[in-house]
Structure 1
Amino acid sequence: MNSLHLEVSDPGSILLLLQDLADLPCTLVQQKLNKYFQNVTGAKVAFLAPILFETEEMVIHVVGEKILDRELRFPVSWQVINHALHRAVKQRKSMAQNITELDQELLQHLRSVVDVAPNLFLSIPIQHPIKDHIALVVCLVDYENKEDAEHNCTKFVQECFRYCLGLLLSTLRCQEEARLKIQCQNLLAVSRKLFMRLGDLSDLLREIMAEARKLTNAERCSLFLLDLEQQDLVAKVFDGVVTGKTVKEMRISLNQGIAGHVATSGKLLNIRNAYSHPLFYRGIDDVTGFKTRNILCFPIRDEERIIGVAQLCNKMDGLYFDVFDEEVATAFSIYCGISIMHSIVYKKIQDAQARNKLSNELMMYHMQQVEDEAVQALLNCRDDHNIKDFDQFHFSPRNIPYRHMPCYVLKMFRDLGFIDHWKIKRTTLARFILYVKKGYRDAPYHNWVHAFSVAHFAYLMIKNLELIGDLYMSHLQALVFLVSCLCHDIDHRGTNNSFQTKCGTVLASLYSSEGSVMERHHLAQSMCILNTEGCNIFESLTSEEYSEALDLLRNNILATDLASHFRNVDKQQAIICRGYAKDNLDQRKQLHAMFMTCCDLSDQTKTWKVSKKTAEQIYDEFFSQGDLEKSMGTAPIEMMDRERASIPDLQVQFITNLVLPLFTNLATLFPLTEQLVNVIKDNREVWKVVKSLFQKYSQKGTTGMDILLDPRLDEEIDKTFNSLAGNSEGSPEQETSEQKASCDCRPSEMNSTEVMPESN
């Protein structure tokens, strides 16, 4: 039918149309109406833009006869609509306008269904028959006879909708209800997934980002949690951000950027063109190479307040995020907030349960308290405690009788002047020492004897290298240095950090998120002893000194994790090479960390027989862990597998790559310790000789640990060196010290596979 000869009122045609529309879904109803209007008006394309009064949205499902894969939704208040369809709504009259005023995404659909680029379109508003608002806008694109037919087209469309509007609105309402049902089902499915991740906040945040992307079909999602104390937004889990270095966390100030604006205002922000928005920071795009086109940023709330912000980037199936995406995001944010807060509370409950379990475990292990009689017995010991060369670097503290070791700890505190300088009560110090001794388990290597040896080396350094007098340490730093060495392995279980993490132990559940699982536990146990009644040797310190002492204790004990040493070894090397600046606080911290590692590895500086005995204890502990891992169905790394480990090779690698560079740096700074470097080199030579002897014993079917314990090995070593040197001066007893092939050579914590094979 040609629009020039159109009869405005044609009840017959409208009745046939109504009959054709019966029992059809909303999209097919609109498709048939569009086709009908195109036929009777000669328009190249017709489309309907119903207005959802409740949400103040304009929605387009069909353009011409093309049903859109994703409906277009616009708030009626959007500026882009004010230039086109909304003008007709606002003025409630038909308006002919330039096609370029339409939304860009809508224009793309129009151009996909017509052969020639359209120029004009006619907007015809349809009044709701009952309510005082416009129900929809009918658009006729490039209609015929622009000047004569506008009036007739408007009348015809309005006349048609006197009969069809109710049917269209009913089908539209059904479609919206179906959409809301699907949305609710999707959100319920998402909430089910989220609540399955409550046990791990990082997993939960990853799941939230994945589901947010899926619900809105976004390319990327960033999620920031609010840190009220620092007034920052913090992201610790990232979605597809690739940079040249590993980023542990990203912080954004609350008063900066899009996320900061949303967090402070509490209002969702939908940005169509990110680069033109004044709040957008393009620096991250420049670093990552990612191109941000559009952003949907919304707040995440719990029941009381904003706890974070989610930021979606780049709509993948459209030009920008629409009102439907805003609705989904707003609803989704409620589930996010509830699940995040529940995860945080759940983590606190888990930590409390883990601490309670750990407390019960420790209570059972250390059932008895230190009695006053034991304290008095320590203080009243009648031994003169005057073993020769106790204050010399070549002295082995393992030669001290076990029962007298607490007495010699008292001697170290007294000789260094700590008792008088800090006015430490002798009963408090004695009780502290006995509690520390009780805190160590009977592990093959990481036990009280090891702690005593490490503390003795700290004593030697403070005394012989004059660390206080030469301003390498303050009096307080020296006191905490000795205490740190004494406490640095309290309650060690004979297994390393990797084992704790892989097995998901109580300690791992408490500390794995922070790293250095065992070291943090040693620190916590040290604090428990200090807080035990009658044990606080820091009680005479001022509040400032006390706070500093606890910080030093933390830094020192955490520094005994070899993973920490490997992270800082380059900095320490640079300090030694360029010259140590005693007034530089960062350099002093690095140097003290190096001192802790030296003390922890000090068994390497003793004679061959001492170092060999230490190696026996270390590999006994290593192989025990390896046996435990095998019983759990896990293959241990080579150095912990008694059937595969080559002890001499491991020792040579360990000395060459870790111990020797460490003590060479110490000797560069303190030439007095050059003697230690020589002993370490001698011990390495013995291990090289031992390697050939191991091969000979292995051919006879003897395994590594049995070879090390065989008394004939020492005899053959002596013979070998005597034949090489021609006299007793070649004896390894005079030339060596070694090992602690791991002192805290906790294999999985070593960052270099060159130090111990497969150490990670």
Structure 2
Amino acid sequence: MLVYILDPAGTCFRCHDPLHSLPTDGPIGDVLEKPVLTECDGLPAHTILHPALTPLAVPLPPDKIVEILPVVDSNNAVLLVVLMRCSPLNTIEKASLVTVAKSISVCCKRVHNMVLTASSQASVAKGQNLVSHDDGETFSYMDRKILQLCAELSDLDAASLQLKVIQYLQRETDSSCCCLLLFSEETQLLSCQVVGDKILEEDISFPLGSGLMEKLVEEKTSAFLVDTDNDVQQMLSSQLDFPVHSMLCVPVLSRATGQVVALACAFNKLHGQSFSQEDEKMIQHCFCYTSTVLTSTLAFQKEQKLKLECQALLQVAKNLFTHLDDVTVLLYEIIQEARNLSNAESCSIFLLERGRQELVAKVFDGGVVDDESYEVRIPANQGIAGHVATTGQVLNIKDAYSHPLFYRGVDDSTGFHTRNILCFPIKDENEEVIGVAELCNKINGPWFSKFDEDLATAFSIYCGISIAHSLLYKKVFEAQHRSKLSNEMMMYHMKVSYDEITKVLSEGVVTPTAIHSDFAELHYTPRSLPDERTLPAVLSMFADMGFISKYKLDTNTLTWWCLMVKKGYRDPPYHNWMHAYSVSHFCYLLDKNLDLSKYLDDIEIFALFTSCLCHDLDHRGTNNSFQVDSQSVLAALYSSEGSVMERHHFAQAMAIINTEGCNIFENFSRKEYQRMLDLMRDIILATDLAHHLRILKDLRTMADMGYNKHNPEHHNLLLCLLMTSSDLSDQTKGWKTTRKIAELIYKEFFSQGDLEKAMGNRPSEMMDREKAYIPELQISFMEHIAMPVYRLLKDLLPGASELYERVSANRDHWAHVSHKFTIRGLPSDNSLDFLDEDAGPGQIAPTESDTEAINSNGLERERSPEEG
């Protein structure tokens, strides 16, 4: 490396070690015209005028270049150039060289000013005979020492640079120790990196306070500390870890802004002397030439720190995005990364549950909480975390115990002492708060700084993205489980052959009267129809209700869909295909006899009918409670949303619709298609008894006020009521049908009860074959569930009174025959035929189809409301 100073005439550059010159043409001339850091393959041969330049001549080795670094003055005129033979530099190294050039420029300017000042003072002193030869020698000696110090200040590390300045001050003030207290305008903190001849392993930071230090910064004046300043002595002695007896404190100003950037402190004058104004002037004189280098290096160090933090954030992003498959593990990683980035003692993450308006924490510093009883839940509008979740703003609390939102009870119970808190929101891509992170107790400082706030804000972006994607990944994962479950079900028992479709279509779509003369009458019992005739009956109902013509349904597609739906039902005693067919037939009866088009839109009636056919798809003969208690796959998928089985039924219906060749809604517009799926979802979910009980009050209000066809809420309530009444429609048939249905439903109930006992659980009374008293259970069910349903129906729809009367008569018959029931559960032959030996007074006589139904092996009954 060689340094060349531009000749005053500007004709050449001169190097003083070794002494030689360099012409101003070639690459050097280019730098004179455009003074920027320039690289070249070497210097031309005609510029090599000294052996010292030979290593820079062309050609150079392939891995070497020549870098030309110009140093310019404030007018961008070149003062000198530095030639270096080196390997190609990266961006950071080039930036460092530019910083060095600026520092050299400042030093050159200071030296130039110092020479001018010395010459002026020497001239005045000589003219007035005020300065002796010895004083001139002393001034020259001081200048030489300053120049020597400036020449050594080439460090890019602020601590190393401070060490050289502090050692200089320590020698010149004859003090036992010196330090620089760096002042941050943003945080109002004083920090120290070097004390005496020692670079500290960890910075010492303390607040500016409201005493002497604040006065020095505000007034920009020096101070001499003597033994009487006990408070300042004690504070400095405790912070710097050595006794302070006397001190000289001089503010260091930025040449650019004129603001205080540091306090230069000299401690404990040696030999029993006191600090003097000469010491103060010496310190001021030192920083007159070194403050710019110091502030530039500190700025460079700050940029380096920012760069490292950015790199750390990128690494954090990489770490977080590798744990998207498990939100719990992801939250634990976020806690660890947040603590490391901010140097916090502890961290907590709360996720916002909007439905319940609560902040929930399941992951803590110590690990993951699996037991829900140990998770922390707090209202989303209370406390520090609640305030941040509500406002969406960062909250930096320097003294936790003095803040009105802080609750000390946790500290009192755990023994943990919370000093300060940094709480920040975690938002998704829509700027909606999805969680809150709470950091406690800054480890390497008195509190969290503005830099920590900015870092937390940047970090929260990665947190929000990763949490949102993790939750989305969870939904996709669950959707894959649903798809796998659906495919498993269809592959196992839902294969439909072309021959089956051909067989159903061979006779065409028949009329309802061709099936049975009373097929469209309210008293007709659909269970009287043999199983093999149910599919033609379904197609007949589709046609008679006008769906095939109105919605242009392809008969092949419709037949395939019907076959898939039928095969989608398993064979439990009650919740099987015959039940689905019976429910859909009752919907057909309501439309034909009560003219539903007066109350509902055509697409709503279509959705109701298809939902009746699909509402119990893949029923396993067990209820929602059993799915949850047994921790089944269905419960894992749907328990968080409620109505486990009903959601599964709807999912199976969608799986069939999405099967190639089975989409009966293929001719719908986009709007109609979405409307149909939404209606089917709401109607099928309405088959959950819990849902019916939730809306019962609204149904009664609607019945009292009268149905309003222009009220969308009335449409929704009526659809739910019609679905429930269809679901319970076996209770509107003759006594023998009702009695036979009871056999099937309790047979299914008791099978579930046996499974629960095998699992070590205690089944409910209605599920326990050893405790269930069927007449009492049936009477209770009919009085509290079935009869209120049909009472609402007759209040809303004229012509439905017959249905209520039949249900009431069946209830009376259960009461009449209850004296015959001397056992719990079912008889050994699982038959209740003995109850038919005498009919109670007022009992409606069985119809022909009733009698046929009793002899049909396909007889079954709608699930009772107790099933959920």
TM-score (norm 2): 0.54
Residue of structure 2 equivalent to 1:718: 837
Give the letter aligned to residue 458 of structure 1: C
Specify which of 469, 482, 486 is matched with residue 355 of structure 1.
482
Residue of structure 1 equivalent to 2:532: 403
Give the letter aligned to residue 617 of structure 2: I
Q: Distance in 1 between matches of 2:615 and 2:379?
A: 29
Specify which of 736, 743, 749 is matched with residue 863 of structure 2.
743
Per-residue CA shift, 1:139-183, capped at 9, x if unaligned? 9xxxxxxxxx9999x99xx9xxxxxxxxxxxxxxxxxxxxxxxxx
Residue of structure 1 equivalent to 2:216: 88
Give the letter aligned to residue 88 of structure 1: L
Residue of structure 1 equivalent to 2:569: 440
1:227-246 → structure 2 map (5 Å cutoff): 237-239=358-360
Alignment of 1:706 with 2:832, yes or no, is: no
Q: Distance in 2 between matches of 1:331 and 1:544?
A: 41
Unaligned runs of 5+ in 2: 1-178, 193-202, 225-230, 236-246, 254-259, 268-273, 284-316, 362-376, 406-418
Residue of structure 2 equivalent to 1:463: 592
Question: 1:489, CA displacement in angstroms?
Answer: 1.1
Specify which of 424, 435, 442 is matched with residue 298 of structure 1.
424
Name the stretch that deviates more: 479-488 or 86-95. Answer: 86-95
Q: Distance in 2 between matches of 1:660 and 1:239?
A: 43
For the 8 Å contact 1:607–1:733, the answer to whether it is kept is: yes
Specify which of 516, 520, 541 is matched with residue 387 of structure 1.
516
Alignment CA distance shift 1:248-1:347 (3 Å): farther
Specify which of 605, 622, 631 is matched with residue 749 of structure 2.
622
Q: Distance in 1 between matches of 2:810 and 2:862?
A: 15
**SS of corresponding position for 2:837:** helix
Give the letter aligned to residue 553 of structure 2: I
Residue of structure 1 equivalent to 2:583: 454
For the 8 Å contact 2:687–2:727, the answer to whether it is kept is: yes
Question: 1:588, CA displacement in angstroms?
Answer: 0.9
For the 8 Å contact 1:375–1:434, the answer to whether it is kept is: no
Question: 1:601, CA displacement in angstroms?
Answer: 1.2
Q: Distance in 1 between matches of 2:670 and 2:483?
A: 30
Q: Distance in 2 between matches of 1:262 and 1:49?
A: 39
Alignment CA distance shift 1:212-1:591 (3 Å): farther
Q: Distance in 2 between matches of 1:222 and 1:681?
A: 54
Specify which of 562, 566, 579 is matched with residue 689 of structure 2.
562
Question: 1:578, CA displacement in angstroms?
Answer: 1.1
**SS of corresponding position for 1:424:** coil
1:674-689 → structure 2 map (5 Å cutoff): 674-689=801-816
Give the letter aligned to residue 411 of structure 1: S
Name the stretch that deviates more: 345-354 or 591-600. Answer: 345-354
Alignment CA distance shift 1:599-1:356 (3 Å): closer
Give the letter aligned to residue 705 of structure 1: L
Alignment CA distance shift 1:239-1:480 (3 Å): closer
Q: Distance in 1 between matches of 2:515 and 2:810?
A: 28
Alignment CA distance shift 1:478-1:301 (3 Å): closer
For the 8 Å contact 1:455–1:486, the answer to whether it is kept is: yes
Alignment CA distance shift 1:649-1:335 (3 Å): farther
Question: 1:340, CA displacement in angstroms?
Answer: 3.1
Question: 1:58, CA displacement in angstroms?
Answer: 3.6
Provide the aligned C-alpha RMSD in A. Answer: 5.6
Unaligned runs of 5+ in 1: 1-47, 62-70, 97-105, 111-121, 140-148, 159-190, 226-232, 241-246, 282-292, 699-703, 750-760
Alignment CA distance shift 1:90-1:577 (3 Å): same
Give the letter aligned to residue 519 of structure 2: F
Alignment of 1:523 with 2:650, yes or no, is: yes
Give the letter aligned to residue 554 of structure 1: R
Instruction: Count the aligned residue pairs.
Output: 569
Residue of structure 2 equivalent to 1:23: none
Q: Distance in 2 between matches of 1:710 and 1:369?
A: 34
Specify which of 477, 480, 504 is matched with residue 377 of structure 1.
504
Q: Distance in 1 between matches of 2:387 and 2:524?
A: 62
Residue of structure 1 equivalent to 2:630: 503
Residue of structure 1 equivalent to 2:604: 477
Residue of structure 2 equivalent to 1:30: none
Give the letter aligned to residue 466 of structure 1: D
Per-residue CA shift, 1:35-57, capped at 9, x if unaligned? xxxxxxxxxxxxx9976989967
Q: Distance in 1 between matches of 2:817 and 2:448?
A: 74
For the 8 Å contact 1:488–1:557, the answer to whether it is kept is: yes
For the 8 Å contact 1:495–1:625, the answer to whether it is kept is: yes
Alignment CA distance shift 1:717-1:52 (3 Å): farther
Residue of structure 1 equivalent to 2:33: none
Q: Distance in 1 between matches of 2:431 and 2:835?
A: 73
Higher-Rg member (1/2): 2
Question: 1:744, CA displacement in angstroms?
Answer: 5.4
Question: 1:432, CA displacement in angstroms?
Answer: 1.6
For the 8 Å contact 2:745–2:861, the answer to whether it is kept is: yes
Give the letter aligned to residue 681 of structure 2: R
For the 8 Å contact 2:572–2:620, the answer to whether it is kept is: yes
For the 8 Å contact 2:490–2:568, the answer to whether it is kept is: no
For the 8 Å contact 1:480–1:549, the answer to whether it is kept is: yes
Q: Distance in 2 between matches of 1:316 and 1:655?
A: 63
Q: Distance in 2 between matches of 1:410 and 1:650?
A: 37
Residue of structure 2 equivalent to 1:593: 720
